[in-house]
Amino acid sequence: MIARETIDKVFETARVEEVIGDFVNLKKAGANFKGLSPFTDEKTPSFMVSPVKQIWKDFSTGKGGNAITFLMEHEHYSYPEAIRYLAKKYQIEIEETVQNDEDKKRSNEKESMFLVSEYAKNYFSDILWNNEKGKAIGLSYFKERGFTDETIRKFELGYSLDEWSAFTDAAENKKYEIEFLEKTGLSIVKDNRKFDRFKGRVMFPIHSMSGRILGFGGRTLSTDKKAAKYLNSPESIIYHKSKILYGIYQAKQSIAREDNCFLVEGYTDVISMFQSGVENVVASSGTALSSDQIRLINRLTNNITVLFDGDAAGIRASFRGIDLILEQGLNVKVVAFPEGDDPDSFAKSRSSEEITEYLTSHSQDFIQFKTSLLLEGTKNDPIKRAELIRDIVASISKIPNNIQKEIYLQECARIMNISESVLFNELSQILKRENRDSRAQPVQKTPFTGIVKESKKAEKIDQLFQMEKKIIEILLLYGNEQVDFIDFTSEIDDDGKKRIVKTNYTNEVCKEIYMHLQEDEIEFTDPVFLKIYYEMIHLLNQEQGINADLFTNHEDQDIAATVTDILMDEERYVLSSWEKHDIFVKDKESYLPKLVMDVLYNLRRLLIAQKIHALKTKLQSSEEEDVAPQNNRDTLESIRDYTALKQLLFEKLNRVI
């Protein structure tokens, strides 16, 4: 167990904007930060972070919470794992409890696989640095590749001994179960024998964006041509190669800072570029670029620069990846290295300044790049030239933004010396074909019977729930405020006429609300609101102020989620940038007394309306059952009294029945 004092220190130290900023590219929006949702594929920011309240809200999915809940949602950490992650990030000492055999069995499958992967990373690293064979073979290889000690440690590289079961035996001796060694792909079990998958290979751990070990890539140092040069961990519940990018953990801050991501193919390409000073670089690890990988980059930047080696055939094969980037709405540039060079070799043979200058000066728009590469093969062949133009227009058709589409078409027309109208017509034909191909199967029409189906009615708003939510919101935001209130009472004047008299007084918002609810014996109907309210009353009785942090960091996740949702609803308007349209939101503090009394009066009005409805239902039942008239008269008098009270509330609310 982690000590309560340690957990409190983590909460006090961790800054939600810093924690989330490691995963999402946040931009200032008034007192808050906003960005693209890391949980959905969106083009317009709906993700909001409040540094003042130390909470976040994703309006596209409804998720929200504090730094801990973000890690639990985004990285699928357990609560203790999230605490440990933040303790490590902020260098807070934390007492780790040693897992016994029973604890390991109780751990769920995913957590066990993460534990095994973390152990493997440490084991391979230890072999590389401290084992004689590891140093002679693995470390020597990395040194020959030009990697410094700092770089090797930065990427946590390692070595797996060229022995059949050295790793598997070591892991089992540490009480790691063979079931999870096999499920992660680190060990192979066949005919009751156990083997190391990566034996005799230098190891490249594959990190998640938060630094967790998802899998491994292993490069053989054997001269055996039958052995695969690179071997990756198999797909598992923690490792999906199409959803992760090699180097994203090390590059994420630089990508967000530079607002650009360089995309390469292999592990050593990433490491060499990083070591040369180009730190905003990731690799697709030899797999075809996927939509999930592009979305991962899009959390940090909207700009991707694809780096190609000088192999023209390889470049042509990668055009599909560029189309996919365009389809996702990102801006894409292309840089081709000189023939015979790849990012790894180029980075090793140039200084940091030369590399940066080359990347800047040779960065091309994808149309310029594609035409310059393919135009050479279309000389004196109008058919091939027409095919090239169609190919480029097909790429442009992937772009979701219509303005960008038009600009790219104009650029294509200029480069290819062809009229824009022809290109626009071709684009129109492509889009029509795509729409036709993607259209769903036609719906079978049914003959008209003369009966019109009733349209589905919109869900009725639960007004009582909304009133209770508004009271909790006011208590959270303004509960400790001293406010000048006005009380309205009814009295009969000398002429026998009823009039409303107002009285001024000062009170704390929380005490005012408590007094009214207590006086009317009103209970919250929503169970979560009721729990929140009871805790607030406890704070009030202890002469403590209402502290929203106590609720956003609450151990009861229902309470924490509900309070976060309420607090972040206040920030929703920031996403719309209303000020740009000269629409300004009035501060609630300026009409707080009216806000408090309105919600209390409206709550009473709703409860009275429910009571009147119940009495009328009772009266109707009594008439049907021929109940004694006296009982009906009592019910009618109650309805009359409640109706008069309702009338008074409408007068106080300045409303007309």
Q: What is the CATH number of the domain that holds 306?
A: 3.40.1360.10
Q: Is 528 inside a domain boundary?
A: yes
Q: How far is CA 331 from the centre of its chain?
A: 21
Q: Is the pLDDT of residue 479 over 60?
A: yes
| pLDDT-derived band at 582, boundaries 50, 70, 90 | low
Q: What pLDDT, on the 0 to 100 scale, is given for residue 440?
A: 47
Q: What average pLDDT does range 256-282 have in this prediction?
A: 94
Q: How many CA atoms lie within 13 A of 262 on its CB side?
A: 26
The amino acid sitting at 427 is L
Q: Helix 109-130 and helix 166-173: axis angle, to 10°?
A: 120
649: in domain: yes
pLDDT at 453 over 50: no
Same-domain pairing of 322 and 279: yes
pLDDT classification of 216: cutoffs 50, 70, 90: very high
The answer to whether 243 touches 41, Cβ cutoff 8 Å, is: no
Which residue is listed with tokens 């999915």? 61
* pLDDT value at residue 178: 95
User: For the residues 238-267, what does the mean pLDDT come to?
Assistant: 92
82 lies in which domain range? Answer: 4-89
Rounded distance between C-alpha atoms, residue 325 and residue 298, angstroms? 10
Of 405, 436, 467, the one marking the end of a domain is 436
Same domain? For 140 and 83 the reply is: no
Q: What are phi and psi of 213, to 5 degrees?
A: -85, 115
Q: Are residues 260 and 395 in the same domain?
A: yes
**514-548 b/e (C-beta count within 10 Å ≥ 16 → b):** bebbeeeeeebebebbebbbebbbebbeeeeebeb
Residue 457 has pLDDT above 60, yes or no: no
Domain of 172, CATH number, reads: 3.90.980.10
On the question of pLDDT at 629 being above 80, the answer is no
Q: What is the band of 656 on the pLDDT scale with cuts at 50, 70, 90?
A: very low
Q: How confident is the model at residue 570 (pLDDT cuts 50, 70, 90)?
A: low
Q: Please check whether residues 231 and 147 belong to one and the same domain.
A: yes
**594 or 233: which carries more pLDDT confidence?**
233
In a domain, 558, yes or no: no
pLDDT digits (tens, 9 = 90+) for 133-166: 999 999 999 999 999 999 999 999 999 999 999 9
Residue 220 has pLDDT above 90, yes or no: yes
Residues 105 and 199 in one domain: yes
Select the more confidently predicted residue: 125 or 2. 125
Contacts of 560 (CB under 8 A, 6+ apart): 65, 66, 69, 551, 552, 553, 554
Q: Is the dihedral of CA 123, 125, 129, 135 positive or negative?
A: positive
Query: Which band of pLDDT confidence, cut at 50, 70 and 90, is reported for residue 310?
Result: low
**Is 447 inside a domain boundary?**
no
The residue among 485 and 474 whose pLDDT is bigger is 474
Name the residue type at position 489: T
Kindly give the interhelix angle for 420-438 and 382-396, rounded to the nearest 10 degrees.
60
Q: Are residues 509 and 388 in the same domain?
A: no
Q: Which of 216, 239, 262 is the last residue of a domain?
A: 239
Write out pLDDT tens, residues 71-94.
988 887 878 888 989 998 899 988
Instruction: Indicate whether 58 belongs to any domain.
Output: yes
User: Are 625 and 527 members of one domain?
Assistant: yes
Could you give the number of structural domains in the chain? 4
Going by pLDDT thresholds of 50, 70 and 90, the confidence category of residue 657 is very low
For residue 603, what pLDDT band results from cuts at 50, 70 and 90?
confident
Q: Residue 456: pLDDT above 90?
A: no
119 part of a folded domain? yes
515 and 610 inside one domain: yes
Residue 324: closest CA among 298, 286, 300: 298
Any domain includes 141: yes
Any domain includes 132: yes
Looking at the fold, whether 289 and 360 belong to one and the same domain comes out as yes
Does 498 score more than 60 pLDDT? yes
Same domain, 259 and 204: no
Q: Average pLDDT for residues 396-400, to the nearest whole number?
A: 90
Q: Which amino acid is at 404?
A: Q
Of 218, 239, 260, the residue at which a domain comes to its end is 239
3-state SS of 388-402?
HHHHHHHHHCCCCCH
Q: Convert the pLDDT of each residue in 23-75 to its tens digit.
A: 999 998 888 899 999 988 888 898 999 888 889 999 888 888 899 989 988 88
Q: Looking at the structure, do residues 308 and 290 belong to the same domain, yes or no? A: yes
Higher-confidence position of 512 and 498: 512
Kindly state whether residues 408 and 515 are assigned to the same domain: no
Res 581 pLDDT > 60: no
The enclosing domain of 84 has a CATH number of: 3.90.580.10
Encode pLDDT of 186-203 as tens digits. 999 998 899 999 999 999
